[in-house]
Structure 1
Amino acid sequence: MSGGVNLHDLARLGAEARANLLKRSEADLGSFLERVKPIIAAVKEEGDVALARFANEFDKSPVKPGEIAATRADFDAAFKAVEPEVIAAIEFAVENIRKFHSDQKPEEMWLHEMRPGAFAGDRFRPIPSVACYVPRGKGSFPSVVMMTTIPAVVAGVKDICVVTPPGPDGKIDAATLVAARLAGVDKVFKCGGAQGVAAAAYGTQTVPKCAKIVGPGSPFVVAAKRLLADVIDPGIPAGPSESIIFADETVDGRLAALDLLVEAEHGPDSSAYLVTPSAKVAEEAIKALPDYWARMSEQRVAFSSAVLKGPRGGVVLTPDVDAAMAFINDYAPEHLEILSDEPFAYLGRIENAGEVLLGKHTPVTLGNFVLGPNAVLPTSRAAMTHSPLSVFDFMKRISVGYVTSVGYPTLAKHARVLATYEGFDAHANAVSEIRDRLLKH
């Protein structure tokens, strides 16, 4: 029945086998951590010279130290090189993504009266700078440019840049430059991989030192972020792509198969499962895959088939819906798509997912490109504790308090009791009769 595609019968799997299904490609970063250490050290020491050398070595790109930054002419040429329909699609996506994140943005400050005469709240301010990492090795990703830069612009970050690998021609992908300019960002640099992360962390002669870096990347990028976490805020964990397509018995398995391939085609390090309690849906999906592969490029077929026939993909047949929901929540997928005639019936049962896309007309493709919510999502089970990239990732909260003479006595009384109990004399003195005497002067 499977034709080489993995079919995992959850009812027959032991605890260890089930646990293996939850593993991601970056689960063991040990070898990557060791390999990126010298790269990071070189960038810290040599700056642009190291970036150019690594572009030549890793990206096979003839970049020189003085050519790290995209020029205005590069941006202008990109708009001439990209097809008008692609530019129109980017403009459409920019509008939706900007609207979503503008609606998401909190008011600058809120202040509530906690007790009579005592006020507390938050004031939101943008972070000072951010580098948006945009991968390239397995494709071109203007969508990632939009998803990372637009919420930063909406948040009000003053210094925003894009770091991305150069192509074999020594240039930055044209659509990436188009998306950056339409998003409102004019700083784009030719440095990908671990070296790009290091450049943003330490700064070079060209790349500015940034307070934070966001965006998805390979295990090399993830490893570099981890090693540099005490130098630069690494943002949410965003590694290789992953998805779960849940389909119940109301769904045509061919539709489920169509969507199963979406994240699987990103690369062989991706993870993708169809989870269903229906043997009929599972069988229909597996039978449909060869027809879809016949409509895809050789590279994307190689990537997606490697995933669906490898250790991190395939079809998971569950004994019932409860088991399916339990598996999904344990997996905590980056992307979760719910295919059903009644998708909202399942939404309340989902606790862990980067995003939930509901219904037969909401494939992951729409979420990745044009719907509006951010498609940079937590991976490798990080969705259990992390949220999608948002305007909040580019802002910080400053707590605000204000107590009047009316509210002070009651708060001071209880604070003094707690300060005395914990043994903090200065704390207690600051809300004692000493302050009362001073306030009367």
Structure 2
Amino acid sequence: MRINRFDLATMGPADQERLMRRAEVDIEAVDADVRRIVDDVRRGGDQALAELAERFDGVRLDPGALAAGPDEFARAEREIPPELAAAMEKAVARVRRHHEAQLPPATWMIEPTPGVMTGERVTPIESVGLYVPRGKGAFPSVMMMLAVPAVLAGVETIVVCTPPGPDGSVDAASLVMARMCGVTSVMKAGGAQAIAALAYGTATVPRVRKIVGPGNPYVAAAKRLVYGVVDPGLPAGPSESIVLCDETADPVLAAHEVIVEAEHGPDSAALVVTSSPALADAIAKVMVDLVAELPSPRREFCEKVFSGYGGIVVTPDLTASIAFVNRYAPEHLRVLVSDPFSVLNKIRNAGEVLLGENASIPYGNFTLGVNAILPTGGHAKSYSGVSVHDFLKRSSFCYVTPEGARTVGDVAVALAEYEGFPAHARAARFAMDRSAESH
């Protein structure tokens, strides 16, 4: 197996920029195809969804039966092993506890100046679409990470889109997870066509105000395309991670961790970043053995990643390693250094930061309670991971007494006149004079 090795000190600006781009190249390459898919769904609705499912998923679906019915939910509950159901319940409880702590007060108000009350009211978005991918596996954990905060936020209409399996059914564990979280509207639609259906609506799939969830380059491209029609949520594309190591890191532990996100698919990105060439050598040796033990197709995915968007980056020192992390802005950052909390304060850009030897990436993905739906492609520089805040909106409100109107009126008149808005100035002056008369 070939593992990319990058010596940061000898890389030119162009080479470093290519390393930063990751699967964004793949997303740009599918734009034209995605545009046609979105147009097909916009014109053809459920019929187009069924045709595209047959084309891309090899599944024949009845255009009138795209929603998972009660019998499918019941069958799913019978199919999954009891031990899996128990694990899912524990995971949901932890994720719910973490996200409950994020809930803001429904209303707050202050008096910034006498006679003026200002505040905000927080309300849920009326309808959201949750996208749960399936192409390279089934992901009930993604269902959980999206559904729990949406339900906690109080969203009235929650619609899940997820690709059907070979037999046309929704993954059983994902259906059970949806119901555990309080969601029962699950549609058999995946890829760019699912994003289009949620954005424009069909006879079966309700049109929503916002779409949240990760996906492949086709999904990411579709989200870009429907921006303006619907809020496409945070950019969550192919998986990515950095394992940041100093010379004290255990190479076996580091190798295990860097392979985690790589096995998601060939478009993933997974890097070890260290200032120790000796540690880099040791990690690479272990990686070869660990990847060789994986079953197909996960083995092939990892081999593609570590010769593609992944590998090992060797830097001059820990400071340079941290600077690289901040520039890369990874989805998952695993910190294996002697004093992890000293590094935490220096990390500005990362979807999540997993500190120390025991905070394994899979723990964060499944059971710690933190959300694992995180910004990718460098977007952690300006986006946060999914939370209840993704499903809420804020409305400012204010109330002014006659005394307050006399206090703030002159300021409004002065600024309106300076900016050339005579109607603004006249209305402000009228309100101010009227309040004086009422007093």
One of 406, 409, 420 as aligned partner of 1:423: 420
Residue in 2 that maps onto 1:341: 338
TM-score by length of 2: 0.97
Which whole-Å deviations, capped at 9, do the CAs of 1:296-317 have from their partners, x for residues lacking one? 212111101110122x110111
Q: Does 1:103 align with 2:134?
A: no
- Of 425-434 and 189-198, deviating more is 425-434
Q: Does 1:322 align with 2:335?
A: no
Residue in 1 that maps onto 2:388: 391
Which whole-Å deviations, capped at 9, do the CAs of 1:6-29 have from their partners, x for residues lacking one? 111111211211221111112353
Which whole-Å deviations, capped at 9, do the CAs of 1:97-156 have from their partners, x for residues lacking one? 111111101010111121122221211110010110011010110011011111110110
Deviation at 1:439, TM superposition (A): 5.5
8 Å contact from structure 2 (residues 403, 435) kept in 1: no
Counterpart of 2:67 in structure 1: which amino acid? A
Which whole-Å deviations, capped at 9, do the CAs of 1:222-241 have from their partners, x for residues lacking one? 11111111221110111100
One of 353, 356, 371 as aligned partner of 2:353: 356
- Of 60-69 and 288-297, deviating more is 288-297
Name the SS of the counterpart of 2:403 in structure 1: coil
**Residues 47-196 of structure 1: pairs in structure 2 closer than 5 A:** 47-196=45-194
Name the SS of the counterpart of 1:91 in structure 2: helix
Deviation at 1:404, TM superposition (A): 2.2
Counterpart of 1:323 in structure 2: which amino acid? A
Q: Does 1:373 align with 2:370?
A: yes
TM-score by length of 1: 0.96
In 2: Cα distance, 1:24 partner to 1:300 partner: 19
Deviation at 1:437, TM superposition (A): 3.6
Name the SS of the counterpart of 2:159 in structure 1: strand
In 1: Cα distance, 2:55 partner to 2:8 partner: 44
In 1: Cα distance, 2:298 partner to 2:104 partner: 40
CA RMSD of aligned residues (A): 1.4
In 2: Cα distance, 1:48 partner to 1:16 partner: 45
Residues 430/291 of structure 1: CA separation in 2 closer, same or farther (3 Å cut) = same
Deviation at 1:321, TM superposition (A): 0.9
Aligned residue pairs: how many?
438
Deviation at 1:419, TM superposition (A): 1.4
Residue in 2 that maps onto 1:407: 404
In 2: Cα distance, 1:437 partner to 1:64 partner: 65
In 1: Cα distance, 2:2 partner to 2:134 partner: 29
8 Å contact from structure 1 (residues 378, 387) kept in 2: yes
One of 226, 229, 240 as aligned partner of 2:227: 229
Deviation at 1:176, TM superposition (A): 0.7
Identify unmatched segments of 5+ residues in structure 2: none
Counterpart of 2:388 in structure 1: which amino acid? V
8 Å contact from structure 1 (residues 47, 204) kept in 2: yes
One of 283, 302, 305 as aligned partner of 1:304: 302
Name the SS of the counterpart of 1:351 in structure 2: coil
In 2: Cα distance, 1:199 partner to 1:433 partner: 49
In 2: Cα distance, 1:72 partner to 1:138 partner: 26
Residues 434/35 of structure 1: CA separation in 2 closer, same or farther (3 Å cut) = closer
Residues 196/434 of structure 1: CA separation in 2 closer, same or farther (3 Å cut) = closer
Name the SS of the counterpart of 2:335 in structure 1: strand
8 Å contact from structure 2 (residues 406, 432) kept in 1: no
Counterpart of 2:112 in structure 1: which amino acid? M
Residue in 1 that maps onto 2:267: 269
Deviation at 1:66, TM superposition (A): 2.2
In 1: Cα distance, 2:431 partner to 2:206 partner: 50
